[in-house]
Amino acid sequence: MTIAPERPVAPGGTGPNLRAPTVGERRRSPGQLRATDVYAMLGAAAAALSLTALMFTRLLPFSGTVGFVVVAYVLFLALYGLLVSFDEDGPAVRDRIAAVVVQSLGLVMVTALAVVVIYTLWEGRKALPHLNFFTQDMAEAGPLDPLTAGGILHAILGTLQQITIALAITVPTGLLCAVFLNEVPGRFARFVRTVVEAMTALPSIVAGLFIYATIILALGFDRSGFAASLALSVMMLPIIIRAADVVIRLVPGNLREAAYALGTSRWRTVWHVVLPTARSGLTTSVILGTARGVGETSPVLLTAGFTAEINGNPFEGPQLSLPLATFEFVKSPEPTMIARGFGTAAALMALVLLLFVIARVIGGRGPGQLTRRQEHRRVRASRQDAERFAARTSAAASAPRTPAAASGPGANSPTAQPSPPRTPRRSAP
Amino acid sequence: MPRRLYADPGLPDRVFRGVARGGGGLVLAVMLLVGGFLLYRAWQALSRAGWSFLTTEAWEPDAGRFGIAAVLVGTVLIALVAIVVAVPLAVGGALYISEYAPPRLRQTLIGVVDLMAAVPSVVYGLWGLFFFEGQILPTARWIATYLSWIPIFEVAGADPNDPLAPETVYTSSTLIAGVVVALMVAPIACSVMREVFSQAPVGEREGAFALGATRWGMISSVVLPFGKGGMIGGTMLGLGRALGETIGVYLIISPVFEIQWHVLQSGSSSVAALIALRYGEASEFGMSALMAAGFALFLMTLVVNFAASSIVARSRSGAASE
């Protein structure tokens, strides 16, 4: 087996292959499952299950699902090792057992998520089918009312308003700060980066406590949606700055240098080269920060207050949000309230999932990597520029010779030059 | 890293740099304000309590008896349980994704782990409160019955000889809260570790295979040593998150204000849950005491986070990626 490049570079070079972790080297997948391994695994599984069942039902005073699974798993490992050791040597036995342990841990990880999500949706099935759950608030519905009355419209509205305000604060500030960290390097930038990294450690409840103590206790404002979004902003700001900082740092230096070499000023380089190149990564980091902020309960708990009615004004009066509503619902002992809590949690999960899917669709591409449509647009713009230059030079100098740029703009791989045509237009004579 | 430019940038650029500097300064000001204000407000309580703030177990600020000994021990215990559960999960998950999973599945799995980190903590709390607690009780009881000679597994008030004894002594325990927090922490640690594992140099991997190593032999001699910094760093990052977790813990534990070492026994406490529990009824001095507790928590997570990032930065991990 030879080591070939992971992605064979196409002749002519289609865009920078930035995401590949090790350019030119490819990792092989050494594992090959043989028939004897499968037999040993099946045999060990059967033996472990029957032994455990025997222990739990006949021999020993054990009970409980968790205990059953743990005992069966340990027995399986021991038996599998024994079976493999009949025809393999020591290192191979260790290899097989390690493979089983690692793969089962990976499986547990994925299963845990599946169980949490599916359990929430399953428990939410009682509240979710009622349409009024999404179109009414809880003003008319008491804890004893059936699920056909009342809903979480007020919480949905509150969540949307609070996260919008928080984003309006954090996105400009966060991106500006991330640009600052990368484009104005120096001792001050290093200090700011250290402080921002430290603040990602800020427990979310402390962010809530800070806003509670300043805005509500010291300045004397009421609890409101605005205070909640301030608390969310304090919590989200370091997260967004840190993620955006990493993304901007990945913008290849030669793009910047090329822009400088063309005589572009620094802020134009940032505006026309750095930010467009990092756009998909920046969007992803903002959306993931939003997903964190939407689900955070503790800062909101201290600052938003509690209400059962729709409050469309975030600046006055208490305002509920989805995680806070979940929390308040499940504190009640009534089964209908708990069902509502799970319904709210399911709605919240759906919102986070949606944000996540959007982030995946937009993001997942390295800086400078374009979708097909973006690539086409760049090619078209580049071709138009070339035609324009050609027309201008022929008109101005009335030279019969066409410039070389007009001959083949497609072959010059315009994807590698995301700097838009505006700069050359200004600098053209 | 962009290099520093020395040419005169002209007016627009000077404005741009001024604005950028201003943005950085603003963020810096907000961040320092949070820390400074916490300390300022906490000072009233801290100066009254003195060192007894660290040694008192009770939390009665208005009676003058308050301290974080109990809640701090509770916080650390919950975080430790969470780390003990989460680290094997995270290492296993990261190794699986970077070494064992079929390449086609890898991107999906990375997405799943990232999604797990984005699931709201209140959802994990609900799962722990209504589902997991019921599942774990027989196991908790089994551990308490057969392993109670280990001091932390002791449960006061449990009678192992009475098969019909109520199981309420095992509910709302540190263990349950710890496992719930572990589920929140594991994906964070996992994604740091996966990142580092996948950067282990291909040449060294091939070298190990060429010397006849099995896959596990290769992992234990190349990938794990290479990723050691990332493993420690990811663990500490998770620890920082676990220390500050509020809602998941608040929903599950029943708060007690005495040092409670028994992880299986009902009753536990954490700083974050204390703040969520007491902020509403606090007097001005009580608020100051809560601020002091929050400040102590912040300091703890700060130290853990700094240690994590310096370990990650100093390790060899990632050296081959440049």
Give Cα separations from B90 to A251, B86, B118, B119 (angstroms): 30, 6, 16, 16
> What is the tens place of the pLDDT at every residue in B255-299?
888 787 787 777 788 888 888 888 878 788 888 888 888 888 888
What are the tens digits of pLDDT across the range B160-203?
666 666 777 777 888 889 999 999 889 888 888 888 888 888 88
Q: How many whole angstroms separate alpha carbon B86 and alpha carbon B178?
A: 9
Tell me, what's the pLDDT at A424? 43
| pLDDT at res. A363 | 66
Question: pLDDT per residue over B69-89, tens digit each?
Answer: 888 888 999 999 999 999 999
Q: Which amino acid is at B214?
A: T
- Higher pLDDT residue, A30 or B63? B63
| Domains, chain A, with CATH or none | 35-123 (no CATH), 153-362 (1.10.3720.10)
pLDDT lower than 70: segments of chain A: 1-25, 29-32, 61-64, 363-369, 399-429
Complex ipTM tops 0.90: no
Is pLDDT above 50 for B213? yes
Contacts of B12 in chain A (CB under 8 A): 265, 267
Q: Which of B93, B119, B220 sits opposite A352 (nearest CB)?
A: B119
Res. B10: pLDDT tops 50: yes
Tell me whether B126 touches chain A (CB under 8 Å): yes
Q: Does B139 touch chain A (CB under 8 A)?
A: yes
Give the closest residue to B45 by CA, choosing from B284, B297, B281, B244: B284
Whether residue B275 and residue A270 make contact (CB cut-off 8 A), yes or no, is: no
Domain ranges of chain B: 15-317
The whole-angstrom separation of Cα A287 and Cα A361 is 11
pLDDT at B57 over 70: yes
Q: Using CA atoms, how far apart are residues B38 and A277, in angstroms rounded to an integer?
A: 39
The tens digit of pLDDT for each residue in B226-256 reads 888 888 888 888 888 888 888 888 888 888 8
Contacts of A119 (CB under 8 A, 6+ apart): B127, B131
Output the CA–CA distances (angstroms, integers) from residue B201 to A163, B191, B207, in the order listed: 42, 18, 10
pLDDT of residue A17: 39
For residue A91, give the nearest of B38, B88, B214 by CB distance. B214
Q: In this predicted structure, what is the pLDDT of residue A14?
A: 37
Structure confidence at residue A427 (pLDDT): 40
Please give the pLDDT value at position B182: 92
Q: What is the pLDDT of residue B315?
A: 64
CATH 1.25.10.10 fits B15-317, yes or no: no
B165, β-bridge pairs: none
Touching check for B58 and chain A: CB below 8 Å? no
Give the mean pLDDT of B142-157. Answer: 76
Residue A343's alpha-carbon distances to A165, A339, A346, B120, in angstroms, are 25, 6, 5, 14
